[in-house]
Amino acid sequence: MSNKEFPQQIEENLEGTTVFNIPFPKDDDLSVLKKLSPIVYKHPYSIEYNYSYGLDSPFFAGLANKRFIVCREPESGYTYATPRGHDMYSGKETEWVEIVPEGRIHGFTVCHFGSEAFLPECPFVLILVEFEECDTLFLARLIGVDPNKANIDWIGKKVKGRFLRNAKLKPTDIYFNVVE
């Protein structure tokens, strides 16, 4: 079955993990292998998704056009500040409603550490915004405050949304400033 017209060896290169002189017993006594230190190697892994926002897509289109739209159940009027295609109580489809992105800080934190993707941005301020027209909250970044002067009094402060000039199609296309 072996065919010498085909290469019989894998062509080796020095890419990826390449190691030399890993210790191994030279005699027949393999019991010492129980004392071998664990082998740890680096393995990069990345994925590019073709991610769909599905029913929430109009929200991001709104941000890209500097419009803030939320979802309202047509009969009860229950309004979600964070988009949701169907109401959790009636099960009915919600409709899009535009509001002015001005509200108050419901809860906040200053992240001095974070996930790898956000480490370069530390410290950053996260807030949950409450809007008068809405029954639920919206998670956003608060910009323009001293992160080292966090104070519980920040809760209840009035905030106003600002849109990125160059939309990234992320919820961070809108961020908030404190309104003095």
Partner 1 sequence: MRPVYIVSGGVSKFVKARHDKTFQGLVKEAYDYALADIGIEHPKFFELVDGTVASYFSDHFTRQLMAGIMAQDYLGMCPKPSHRVEGGGATGGICFQEAWKSVASGYMDVCLAYGFEHMSHVETWKGNEFIALASDVSFDYPVGGFYSGYYAMMVTRHMAEFGTTVEQLAHVSVKNHINAYHNPYAQKRMRLTIDDVRNSPMVAWPLTRNDICVMSDGAACVIMCSEDGLAKLEKETGQTYHKVKVGGIGRGTDAMRMSDRPHQSYEDFYKYNALPNEMDDDSKAYYKNLWDKGFRYPGIHSFRAGRMASREAYKNANITDPMNEIDFVELHDAYTSSEIQTYEDMGLCRYGEGGNLAASGKVFMPGVEYGLDLPEKPICPVNPSGGLIACGHPVGATGLMQGVFALWQLQGTVEKHFSDPTLQLKDAKRGAIHSHAGTGTYVTVSIIEKEN
In the complex with partner 1, the residue whose CB is nearer, 13 or 50, is 50
CA dihedral 159, 165, 171, 177 (to 10 degrees): -10
- Out of 102, 133, 135, 164, the only residue in the binding site for partner 1 (CB under 8 A) is 135
Among the listed residues 112, 114, 172, the one whose alpha carbon sits nearest the alpha carbon of residue 141: 172
- Out of 119, 144, 146, 179, the only residue in the binding site for partner 1 (CB under 8 A) is 119
- Out of 10, 14, 22, 40, the only residue in the binding site for partner 1 (CB under 8 A) is 40
Is position 77 an interface residue for partner 1 (rule: CB under 8 A)?
no
CA distances from 98 to 2, 69, 142 (A): 71, 4, 21
Point out which residues pair with 130 in neighbouring strands: 104, 137
Separation between Cα atoms, residue 143 and residue 17, nearest integer Å: 43
- Out of 64, 97, 145, 150, the only residue in the binding site for partner 1 (CB under 8 A) is 150
Binding site for partner 1 (CB under 8 A): 38, 40, 43, 45, 51, 53, 56, 80-84, 88, 106-119, 121, 124, 126-128, 135-141, 150, 152, 154-156, 170-172
